[in-house]
């Protein structure tokens, strides 16, 4: 089986998930994979050896500034005509299957050339009846048309009685270690100076990874480091807790390691708003709307860590892909979710609030609406 695997490069979470899939697929001799990345400049990719002789394209990307989506810059810096040329130039016909992790060039090339295609992404989960926060018509259009495929597999922290799978987590090669007492901070959409401004007054060691840092340095109680997959994972395993934006992959990794979480969603990005609201309703994280020193101080002093045990989804998916039996997805869904272990309070919450699918959705939407109204009034 020859697979063309497209990965959205705008966020490191997509690449981290692809690393886990690359390792899993490499174990299957009958499968040959060509990776393609788009969405960021070539100079901003790092630790890419696992992908072999991968291909880079420009594609589309999303821009942000000071913790908010910059819609004007996003429109001005994307070129639809160049994108169409990239789609036409890509020969997908030589592959048996095209997989897209929210990557549009491979998805549209497969559609144009009639090649079987499959989406494996967190974004695909939002095609189902899962909690959504702040979604407008433009968001719905993007989710439907940005990287369309014939079939899709969504990934989420809980199944919500939908056909989604647990998260793909790339931590198998990291050895457990004792906590160093530090807090890991990864807020790539915030300005580094703003981050340092709220961390330095606090009596706590922080390790902050940021794309604007090109050489490791120390600013009072904050160790600032450039992006590195190996160094970041080592810091994640050893830290006491994590402060991050509302992406999908890093919270998944932190929950699987039992690290306490404080999340600040990227304003204007419905996926992150939905992620943070969902985890907050499940009692798995603390949240803040802005970089708030009081919220961080309270979280440091009061919150407890939560751990969710997820199975090896990457290897199970790789084996499923190699068999080529799309109809067996419900069996894979059942097998993987049966292995997930939530904290006891989450099990009680699910049992109390959602004894049936209908009541589950009604109660969750009611609670989510109340949560949103409370946050809006506070803001």
209-258 pLDDT tens trace: 999 999 999 999 999 999 999 999 999 999 999 999 999 999 999 999 99
Q: Which residues share a beta bridge with 261?
A: 242
Q: Which residues share a beta bridge with 57?
A: 38
Distance CA 98, CA 112 (A): 12
- From residue 26, how far is each of 30, 62, 261 by CA, in Å? 9, 31, 32
| Model confidence at 372: pLDDT above 70 | no
Second CATH level (architecture) for the domain 183-308? 3-Layer(aba) Sandwich (3.40)
Distance CA 269, CA 290 (A): 14
Residue 261: which H helix or E strand, with range? strand 260-263
Establish whether domains 2-168+313-337 and 183-308 are of one fold.
Answer: yes
Residue 360 is predicted with a pLDDT of 47
Q: Which of 3, 4, 10 is nearest to 28 (CA)?
A: 3
How many C-beta atoms surround the C-beta of residue 88 within 10 A?
A: 12
Residue 265 CA, chain-centre distance (Å), reads 12
Residue in this structure with the two tokens 């939908």, named with its chain if needed: 162
Residue 253 CA, chain-centre distance (Å), reads 10
Q: What is the mean pLDDT of residues 120-132?
A: 95
| Model confidence at 131: pLDDT above 70 | yes
Distance CA 106, CA 253 (A): 27
Q: Are 297 and 122 in contact (CB under 8 A)?
A: no
Residue 354 is predicted with a pLDDT of 53
Q: Which of 187, 196, 207 is nearest to 293 (CA)?
A: 196
Q: Rounded to the nearest 5 degrees, what angle is found at the Cα of 6, between the Cα atoms of 275 and 227? A: 60
pLDDT in tens, 68-88: 666 667 766 788 999 999 999
pLDDT in tens, 3-50: 999 999 988 999 999 999 999 999 999 999 999 999 999 999 999 999
Phi-psi region of 166 (alpha: psi -120 to 50; beta: other; left: phi over 0): beta
Residue ranges covered by each domain of the chain = 2-168+313-337, 183-308, 347-379
Distance CA 185, CA 242 (A): 6
Q: What is the mean pLDDT of residues 57-71?
A: 74
Q: Quote the CATH superfamily of domain 2-168+313-337.
A: Glycogen Phosphorylase B; (3.40.50.2000)
Distance CA 210, CA 264 (A): 15
Confidence (pTM): 0.89
Q: Which residues, in sequence order, are CB contacts of 379 under 8 Å at separation 6+? A: 289
């Amino acid at each position: 089986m020859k697979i063309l695997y497209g990965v959205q490069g705008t966020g490191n979470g997509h690449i981290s998930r692809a690393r886990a899939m690359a390792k899993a697929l490499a174990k299957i001799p009958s499968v040959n994979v060509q990776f393609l990345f788009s969405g960021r400049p070539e100079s901003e990719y790092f630790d890419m050896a696992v992908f072999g002789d991968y291909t880079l394209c420009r594609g589309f990307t999303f821009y942000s500034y000071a913790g908010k989506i910059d819609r004007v810059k996003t429109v001005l810096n994307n070129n639809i005509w160049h994108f169409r040329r990239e789609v036409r130039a890509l020969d997908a016909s030589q592959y048996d299957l095209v997989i897209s992790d929210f990557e549009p060039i491979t998805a549209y090339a497969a559609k144009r050339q009639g090649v079987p295609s499959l989406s494996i992404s967190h974004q695909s989960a939002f095609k189902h009846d899962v909690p959504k926060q702040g979604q407008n018509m433009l968001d719905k259009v993007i989710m439907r048309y940005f990287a369309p495929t014939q079939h899709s597999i969504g990934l989420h922290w809980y199944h919500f009685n939908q056909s989604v799978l647990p998260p793909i987590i790339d931590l198998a090669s990291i050895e457990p270690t004792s906590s160093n007492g530090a807090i890991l901070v990864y807020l790539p959409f915030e300005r580094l100076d703003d981050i340092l401004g709220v961390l330095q007054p606090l009596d706590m060691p922080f390790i902050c990874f940021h794309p604007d840092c090109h050489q490791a340095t120390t600013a009072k109680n904050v160790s600032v480091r450039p992006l590195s997959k190996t160094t970041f994972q080592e810091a994640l395993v050893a830290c006491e807790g994590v402060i991050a934006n509302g992406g999908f992959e890093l919270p998944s990794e932190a929950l699987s390691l039992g690290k306490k979480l404080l999340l600040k969603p990227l304003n204007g990005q419905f996926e992150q708003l939905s992620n943070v609201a969902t985890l907050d309703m499940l009692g798995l994280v603390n949240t803040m709307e802005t970089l708030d020193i009081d919220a961080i101080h309270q979280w440091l002093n009061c919150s407890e860590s939560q751990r969710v045990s997820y199975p090896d989804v990457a290897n199970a998916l790789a084996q499923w892909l190699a068999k080529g039996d799309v109809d067996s997805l419900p069996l894979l869904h059942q097998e993987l979710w049966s292995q997930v272990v939530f904290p006891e309070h989450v099990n009680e919450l699910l049992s109390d609030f959602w004894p049936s699918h209908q009541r589950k959705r009604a109660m969750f939407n009611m609670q989510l609406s109340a949560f949103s109204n409370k946050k809006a009034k506070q803001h």
